[in-house]
């Protein structure tokens, strides 16, 4: 990304440019955050109680290296697998907050996996990226055992950065499974260049240097993403009320992918903010939900009747 105007901004300006709640038109920053947290808690609990799921499966030694898997015991073994990585600036939020993501996706026929990782300040960025790679190795083996037709990555906000990094990995070298098992990705309001965060207060718990921020930025490994994604479809979406910097980063990342010949799209989602763009995935008719379902070659059907078993 050649646009480095952020280098001229003060810490206060960087905080503003990278604080989504301050860009929302849905209320004051405090109101927006409070609503988001309350809505997620209610809907996520409801979904966990209504869909067959296995919770807190360990994929590593750390306490937070856990997966929640929805629909694995109900859907056909060959079903696609949709992997969601949550945001929260690598510091807040948990996979439990996003269980509602599984509702329309399992209904359409995708086994849905939510990944947790150790957050800052307990972990730095290098550790977080390493853990997510470890989680993905577990999922790749899980997909291979099931003979899944394909794995699809999804990340929101900070999770978009982590999902994009996973697209750069040579999984044959990592876990002896072909990278081609990953068929596509849906990156939602992601951060693909971490360097602007270094002088901001967002970085206080992470303590990234510019060197570590660059090392863990998808833009740095874009050549590897392109190399590994020749046969993948990559969908980037960003909310109309997202910060201008997130919209810029999304567009610039898509331009690189497009010019490299990667099957990709960049979509601006109207009428929603940074939080609504993920909350509304619970709605089958929502544009982002439809992108995910169509990317996997699925349709909303009657599968959900089979899924309404008691949660594990």
Q: How does DSSP classify residue 119?
A: P
Structure token digits, residue 166? 């996973």
Q: Are 200 and 87 in contact (CB under 8 A)?
A: no
DSSP 3-state of 44? helix
Catalytic position from the list 97, 193, 242, 304: 242
Token digits of residue 43: 């809907």
Q: Is 259 a catalytic residue?
A: no
Please tell me what DSSP assigns to residue 190: -
Clarify whether 157 is annotated catalytic.
Answer: yes
For residue 212, give the nearest of 120, 113, 84 by alpha carbon: 120
SS3 167: coil
Active site residue 86: no
State how far the Cα of 266 lies from the Cα of 188, in Å rounded to an integer. 10
3-state secondary structure at position 147: coil
Question: What Rg, from alpha-carbon coordinates, does the chain have?
Answer: 18
b/e map of 247-267 (b: 16 or more CB within 10 Å)?
bbbbebbbebbeeeebebebe
CA distance readout (Å), 169 to 9, 64, 185, 188, 269:
33, 22, 14, 20, 29
137, 157, 189, 264: the catalytic one is: 157
Scan for tokens 């693909």, then name that residue.
192
The residues annotated as belonging to the active site are 157, 242, 274
């Amino acid at each position: 990304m050649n646009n480095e105007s952020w280098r001229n901004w003060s810490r206060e300006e960087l905080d503003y440019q990278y604080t989504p709640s301050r860009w929302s038109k849905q209320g004051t920053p405090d109101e927006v955050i409070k609503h988001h947290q309350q809505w997620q808690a209610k809907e996520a609990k409801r979904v966990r109680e209504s869909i067959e799921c296995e919770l807190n499966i360990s994929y590593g030694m750390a306490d937070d290296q856990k997966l929640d898997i929805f629909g694995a015991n109900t859907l056909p073994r060959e079903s696609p697998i949709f992997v969601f990585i949550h945001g929260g600036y690598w510091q807040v939020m948990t996979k439990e907050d996003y269980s509602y993501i599984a509702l329309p996706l399992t209904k359409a026929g995708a086994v849905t996996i939510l990944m947790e990782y150790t957050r800052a300040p307990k972990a730095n960025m290098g550790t977080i990226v390493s853990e997510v790679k470890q989680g993905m190795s577990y999922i790749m083996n899980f997909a291979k055992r099931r003979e899944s037709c394909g794995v699809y990555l999804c990340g929101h906000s900070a999770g978009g950065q982590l999902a994009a990094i996973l697209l750069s990995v040579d999984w044959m070298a990592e876990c002896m499974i072909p990278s081609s098992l990953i068929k596509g990705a849906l990156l939602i309001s992601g951060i693909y260049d971490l360097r602007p965060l270094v002088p901001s207060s967002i970085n206080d718990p992470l303590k990234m240097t510019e060197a570590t921020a660059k090392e863990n930025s998808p833009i740095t490994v874009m050549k590897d993403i392109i190399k590994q994604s020749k046969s993948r479809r990559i969908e980037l979406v960003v909310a109309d009320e997202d910060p201008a910097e997130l919209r810029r980063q999304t567009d610039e990342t898509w331009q690189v992918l497009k010019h490299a010949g990667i099957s990709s799209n960049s979509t601006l989602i109207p009428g929603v903010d940074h939080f609504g763009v993920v909350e509304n995935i619970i709605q089958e008719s929502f544009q982002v939900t439809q992108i995910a379902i169509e990317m996997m070659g699925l349709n909303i059907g009657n599968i959900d009747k089979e899924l309404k078993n008691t949660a594990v």
